[in-house]
Structure 1
Amino acid sequence: MLTLRLVFESFRFALDALKANLLRTILSLLGVTVGIFSIIAVFTVVDSLETNIRSSLDFVGDKIIYVQKWPFIFSPDSPWWKYFNRPNPTPREFQQLRRQLGPNNKGVAMFAASGSNTFKAGSNSVADCVLQGVTYDFRAVRNVPLKEGRYFTTQEMDAGRPVAIIGAIIAENLFPNGNALGKEFKVRGRTFTVIGVMEKEGKKLLTIASNDDNCIIPFSLFAKLFSVSTTGYGNGPSTSIAVKGRDEDAGLLDLEYEIQGVMRNIRGLKPREEDNFALNRPEMIASMIGTLFSRIGVIGAVIGGLATLVGGFGIANIMFVSVRERTNIIGIQKSLGAKNFFILFQFLFEAICLCLIGGGAGLFLVWLVTTIPQDALPLTMTAARIALGLLISVAIGVIAGIVPAAVAANLDPVIAIRAK
């Protein structure tokens, strides 16, 4: 009962202080509002940006090891020309790798892509699209989200038939009047028949990963169109081999060692020679992104923390003024038997209430920003960030209010009651 009365009285005192000096209170709370807004806004933007980028990078897949010429992350100790002089994976190496790998994989696929292609169907055309050549097991290592139609057959892959699976944007532009299945279009002087249309993904921050403007064709036909080198050297498109790992292979360590051994054997590397190929994992990109955004978050938190510090001084100033204005009341409360902890908690609770009001206003402003419609970077404020904002507000209230509250609690009742 005493605790409830204490909370109620502290809350009433806080409201009275707000009403009595409304302008002063608003100006003082502005620092907390700006500080919480800065911190939570930065974290919200960073979270949304990271989520969007990770979503854009979903195309690299999960539990996959890529055999490529270039590593995802360059070692500062290795000169760039070492990577430049490496050969690209070749179709022969893909076939040998597929035959020699053990049961640690769920599929091996080879693919390559070329951008800036123009597709035509009658009087309709669409430019700046990607043409991607893949082998049959591509759908085992990458998601091919079909909305209509079907995937390639083994016969179509082996014979290099001119059939294609197109993205939503290509389908909408080439065949605006209806179903694209079975229709024909031309690219690079060849006529292709549409056997499938992929689901529309919409805009992403990294549009290079979108399937909407992507066209998938058999790899053997792609190799003829773009003169893919059989030796790994040349100016044609870079090729990659993707190997899908199994769930029971934790960390894909067994699969990685196996791929490394098979590739070294295929390329005839001696024991002391270093690898002339890169084994890349999506986790490398994820780790790099996580490190980058954690640093951005720290910088944003420091900037917001400075604004919050100013707000904390404003709250402390209010509390000292409040103690001075209510010194007489404190003396009367003590003369009637109020304990020091009662007075201490009164002012501490008032400081926390003030900070929660300022912090709540800052969170509300961040929420207003997230409601602004935008395609480039949709912002979302999570419950964790709201809780963080409220927790910071409480911490500011405790830090800013503890000294004034202690001063009030330690006032001599005789001197306090005489104060004017």
Structure 2
Amino acid sequence: MLFLKVFSESIRQAWAQLTGNKLRTFLSLLGISIGIFCIIGVLSAVDSLEDNLSGSLAKLGDDTVYIDKWPWKDNSSDWWEYFQRPYPDHDDYVALKERMPTASLVSYWTVPGSKAVKYKKNSVEGGFLFVTTYEFERIFNITIDKGRYWTNSEYNGGTDKLMLGAKISEELFGALEPVGKTIKMGGRKYEVIGVLEPSGGDLINPLDFDDAVIVTYNNAARFINLKNRSQFGGTVGVKAKDGVSTQQLQDDIRGIMRSNRRLRPREKDNFALNELSMMADALGNFFGVLNMMGWLIGGFSIIVGAISVANIMFVSVKERTSLIGVKKALGARQFVILLEFLTESVILCIIGGLMGLILVVGITSIINTSFESFAISLSLKNAIIGIILSASVGIIAGAIPAGQAAKMDPVDAMRS
């Protein structure tokens, strides 16, 4: 009952501060608001990025090893060594597919360059030719929006049938149905059998297929010298069987690759084994830096805001000194006076924190409207962190003024 009475009195006094000195209070709470905005805004952005990262990893699978010429981690000092390596090729793919007992899928792909595609009078430049083996659909977990995938016989026979990315299909056909249409590419005629679903805003996406013209390896090998490693470098993806660890998969890949490339025991690997977790680790470090910057910038703002709120509370104590003396003369204990001013300080800071959270919601709404492919949202967890942080600042900012008020001598206070 006593706490409710003190709390209601504190709310009344906080409201009096807000309405009686609007500009001063607003400017004082602005530091709290900006600080909460910086910290919670960054936390919300990082959480949204990490959720997108997790979704991307779940979609592509974190049990796939990508064999490449270059490692995905930063090794700029070894650039020349990596530059001299041969690219993975179709022979590596065949060796791994035939000899990998721990792999559920092995796929090979290469990007020989850009190609122009034509349909009647329409022509689209800049689309990239994506040459792949049959396992492409499952290794990338792609979704076909229109049409279908190649059949086994179409792949093995290298028929002139292809799939298009969503963007290049739209530019070429507009509102027309693309499936079943015949287009020209490099002087050859191809039937469009499928259109991929738009890539969307996944944070980790090894290839954005929206601008891709996708043909089978057996088809492309008929008119491109794909065995030229120096000109047409590719990548091999190996997906583990259920229950097989990534480390075991890498060990098996390394053994087969070294054997297929006839490397001596003391020779270094002339290939790199990459995982999507390498990207995740690198982005995790980046997220850590973002979080630190948010706390650093927001921390300075909150310190300024806390000092301003402390000044408000000192003024409030000064203005109510005689009232404090009367309350103490009538029997009010020190902790009641202390609690009253601390509660007032906390309420003021929570109001400042709520202003900051409203600012976060407003800015994220604008960002989400402008960039629909990636959404940032204020989670309940971050909102609670903002409120708790604001309340903590209120306790710290109001501690000294509240302590000063609680220790006043009633007689001296009434005389002032």
Corresponding position of 1:330: 324
Corresponding position of 2:389: 392
Q: CA deviation at 1:52?
A: 5.9
CA pair 396-175 structure 1, distance change in 2 beyond 3 A: same
Corresponding position of 1:192: 190
* 3-state SS of paired residue (1:338): coil
Please say if 1:344 is aligned against 2:338: yes
* 3-state SS of paired residue (2:145): strand
Corresponding position of 1:245: 240
Corresponding position of 2:370: 374
After superposing the two structures, state which structure 1 stretch, 298-307 or 49-58, moved more.
49-58
Q: CA deviation at 1:364?
A: 0.9
Q: CA deviation at 1:49?
A: 5.4
Alignment of 1:177-216 (within 5 A): 177-202=175-200, 209-216=207-214
Corresponding position of 1:8: 8
Alignment partners' CA distance in 1, 2:358 and 2:223? 56
After superposing the two structures, state which structure 1 stretch, 85-94 or 21-30, moved more.
21-30
Q: Residues 133 and 223 of structure 1 are in contact (CA less than 8 Å); yes or no, is this contact kept in structure 2?
A: no
Deviations 1:255-276 (A, max 9, x none): 1111111111211222222111
AA at the equivalent of 1:294: G
Alignment partners' CA distance in 1, 2:156 and 2:214? 15
AA at the equivalent of 1:40: I
Match of 2:127 among 117, 129, 144: 129
Alignment partners' CA distance in 1, 2:226 and 2:61? 24
Q: CA deviation at 1:385?
A: 2.6
AA at the equivalent of 2:269: D
Alignment partners' CA distance in 2, 1:249 and 1:216? 31
CA pair 59-4 structure 1, distance change in 2 beyond 3 A: closer
Corresponding position of 1:37: 37
AA at the equivalent of 2:415: R
Aligned residues: 413
CA pair 120-51 structure 1, distance change in 2 beyond 3 A: farther
CA pair 58-375 structure 1, distance change in 2 beyond 3 A: farther
Identity %: 40
Alignment partners' CA distance in 2, 1:177 and 1:27? 55
Please say if 1:70 is aligned against 2:70: yes
Q: CA deviation at 1:123?
A: 0.8
Alignment of 1:98-177 (within 5 A): 98-102=97-101, 104-177=102-175
AA at the equivalent of 1:248: G
* 3-state SS of paired residue (1:131): strand
* 3-state SS of paired residue (2:210): coil
After superposing the two structures, state which structure 1 stretch, 193-202 or 311-320, moved more.
193-202
Q: CA deviation at 1:327?
A: 1.3
AA at the equivalent of 2:85: R
Deviations 1:381-405 (A, max 9, x none): 3333322222221121111111111
Alignment partners' CA distance in 2, 1:268 and 1:181? 45
Alignment of 1:286-325 (within 5 A): 286-325=280-319
Alignment partners' CA distance in 2, 1:224 and 1:300? 55
Corresponding position of 1:268: 262
CA pair 310-225 structure 1, distance change in 2 beyond 3 A: farther
Deviations 1:144-167 (A, max 9, x none): 201222211222222211111112
Alignment partners' CA distance in 1, 2:74 and 2:218? 31
Q: Residues 44 and 377 of structure 2 are in contact (CA less than 8 Å); yes or no, is this contact kept in structure 1?
A: yes
Superposition TM-score, scaled by structure 2 size:
0.92
Q: CA deviation at 1:48?
A: 4.7
Q: CA deviation at 1:353?
A: 0.5
Alignment partners' CA distance in 2, 1:280 and 1:79? 16
AA at the equivalent of 2:383: I
AA at the equivalent of 1:95: V
Tell me, which stretches of 5 or more residues in structure 2 are unaligned? none
Q: CA RMSD in A?
A: 2.4
CA pair 202-327 structure 1, distance change in 2 beyond 3 A: same
CA pair 336-143 structure 1, distance change in 2 beyond 3 A: same
Corresponding position of 2:359: 365
Alignment of 1:60-99 (within 5 A): 61-75=61-75, 78-99=77-98
CA pair 118-54 structure 1, distance change in 2 beyond 3 A: farther
Q: Residues 30 and 358 of structure 1 are in contact (CA less than 8 Å); yes or no, is this contact kept in structure 2?
A: yes
AA at the equivalent of 1:254: Q
Superposition TM-score, scaled by structure 1 size:
0.91
Q: CA deviation at 1:356?
A: 0.8
Alignment partners' CA distance in 2, 1:390 and 1:226? 63
Q: Residues 66 and 240 of structure 1 are in contact (CA less than 8 Å); yes or no, is this contact kept in structure 2?
A: yes
CA pair 61-187 structure 1, distance change in 2 beyond 3 A: farther
Q: Residues 163 and 196 of structure 2 are in contact (CA less than 8 Å); yes or no, is this contact kept in structure 1?
A: yes
Corresponding position of 1:410: 407
Q: CA deviation at 1:112?
A: 1.0
Alignment partners' CA distance in 1, 2:74 and 2:296? 30
Alignment partners' CA distance in 2, 1:350 and 1:222? 74
After superposing the two structures, state which structure 1 stretch, 199-208 or 160-169, moved more.
199-208
